[in-house]
């Protein structure tokens, strides 16, 4: 197995910690709905952390809060810390660059192929000095490690024109984020679309080993126990 993807941030060992998170839906100064209250937790480097909860429990909301994606109608209070740094307005941009977020629903261009969308993400988001040959090589490695070789050049497809499988789509979405070399990856419901994703977990995180926060829904807990070793 390749180990070229084990990167500096991991060796530096920065964990993600959050405490007293309170997320409210507000209208002016009035709280319309309380979404998160007193949420706390940690995700340590080189570990996969699973958060489970029933539908509507607030998993996606927690991820939005942790990745600084709360809109104007949501008010967030509490503390988020990355390593020793408390995240605030002055450093949220730097923090967000180290963070990758794979959303619950895949947002992929149906007429592209996995290789094309991962290459596009790499070209757009990696340093400009990276040559096209380096990018092609990197993309090939990611495709192999994500178990996408056999569908790498197939159309992604959608509801009308069937293309690659649900699991392959989810892994393509993960590839789009991993190729940018994040320190933290947040995966929202990786198994509700694709149980096959979990079967690749060990492989993926042995090869790309990094701080990972994995989010799963309640119903798949037996699969999580099977696939997460600690």
Ligand X SMILES: Nc1ncnc2c1ncn2[C@@H]1O[C@H](COP(=O)(O)OP(=O)(O)OP(=O)(O)O)[C@@H](O)[C@H]1O
Residues of the shown chain interacting with ligand X in the complex, contacts defined by CB under 6 A:
25, 33, 35, 53, 55-61, 73-74, 104, 217
Interacting stretch for Mg ion, rule CB under 5 A, among 44-52, 58-66, 159-167, 222-230? Answer: 58-66
Comparing CB distances to ligand X, the nearer of 74 and 228 is: 74
**H/E segment holding residue 60:** helix 59-66
Cα distance between residue 75 and residue 31, in whole Å: 9
Which one of Mg ion, ligand X, none is in contact with 165 (Cβ closer than 5 to 8 A by kind)? none
Residue 26 main-chain phi, psi, to 5 deg: -125, 150
How many amino acids of this chain bind Mg ion (CB under 5 A)? 2
The distance of closest approach from Cβ of residue 152 to Mg ion in the complex, given in angstroms and rounded to an integer, is 29
- Closer Cβ to ligand X, 180 or 192, answer by number: 192
CB burial of residue 181 (10 Å; 0-12, 13-18, 19+): buried
- CB-nearer residue toward ligand X: 24 or 181: 24
Does 60 participate in binding Mg ion (rule CB under 5 A)? yes
Residue 106 has φ and ψ, to the nearest 5°, of -70, 135
Angle between helices 114-125 and 166-178 (to 10 degrees): 20
- Residue 25 binding result from Mg ion, ligand X, none, given CB thresholds of 5 to 8 Å by partner type: ligand X
Instruction: CB nearer to ligand X: give 112 or 192.
Output: 192
Q: How far apart are CA 107 and CA 9, in angstroms?
A: 28
**Can you tell me the distance from the alpha carbon of 175 to that of 75, in angstroms, rounded to the nearest whole number?**
32
Stretch that binds Mg ion, among 57-65, 75-83, 95-103, 163-171 (CB under 5 A): 57-65
Is the Cβ of residue 31 or residue 92 nearer to ligand X in the bound state? 31
Q: How far is CA 119 from the centre of its chain?
A: 18
217 binds, among ligand X, Mg ion, none (CB under 5 to 8 A by kind): ligand X
Give the up-direction half-sphere exposure of residue 12: CA atoms within 13 A in the CB hemisphere.
11
Residue 113 contact, options Mg ion, ligand X, none, Cβ 5-8 Å cut-off depending on partner type: none
Is the CB of 12 or the CB of 33 nearer to ligand X? Answer: 33
Q: How many whole angstroms separate alpha carbon 144 and alpha carbon 178?
A: 13
Q: CB nearest Mg ion: which residue?
A: 60
Q: Footprint of Mg ion on this chain (CB under 5 A)?
A: 59-60
């Amino acid at each position: 197995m390749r180990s070229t993807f084990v990167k500096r941030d991991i060796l530096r060992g920065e964990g993600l910690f959050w405490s007293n998170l309170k997320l409210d839906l507000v209208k002016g100064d009035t709280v319309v709905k309380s979404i998160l209250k007193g949420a706390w937790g940690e995700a340590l480097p080189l570990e996969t952390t699973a958060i489970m909860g029933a539908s509507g429990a607030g998993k996606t909301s927690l991820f939005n809060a942790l990745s600084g994606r709360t809109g104007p109608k949501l008010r967030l209070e509490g503390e988020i810390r990355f390593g020793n740094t408390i995240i605030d307005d002055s450093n949220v941009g730097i923090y967000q660059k180290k963070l990758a977020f794979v959303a619950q629903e895949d947002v992929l261009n149906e007429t592209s192929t996995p290789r094309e969308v991962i290459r596009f993400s790499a070209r757009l988001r990696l340093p400009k000095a990276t040559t096209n040959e380096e990018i092609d090589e990197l993309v090939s490695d990611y495709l192999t490690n994500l178990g996408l070789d056999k569908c790498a050049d197939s159309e992604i497809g959608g509801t009308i024109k069937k293309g690659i499988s649900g699991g392959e789509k989810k892994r393509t979405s993960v590839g789009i984020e991993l190729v940018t070399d994040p320190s933290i990856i947040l995966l929202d419901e990786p198994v509700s679309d694709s149980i096959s994703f979990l079967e690749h977990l060990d492989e993926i995180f042995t090869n790309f080993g990094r701080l990972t926060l994995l989010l799963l829904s309640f119903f798949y807990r037996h699969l999580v126990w099977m696939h997460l070793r600690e």
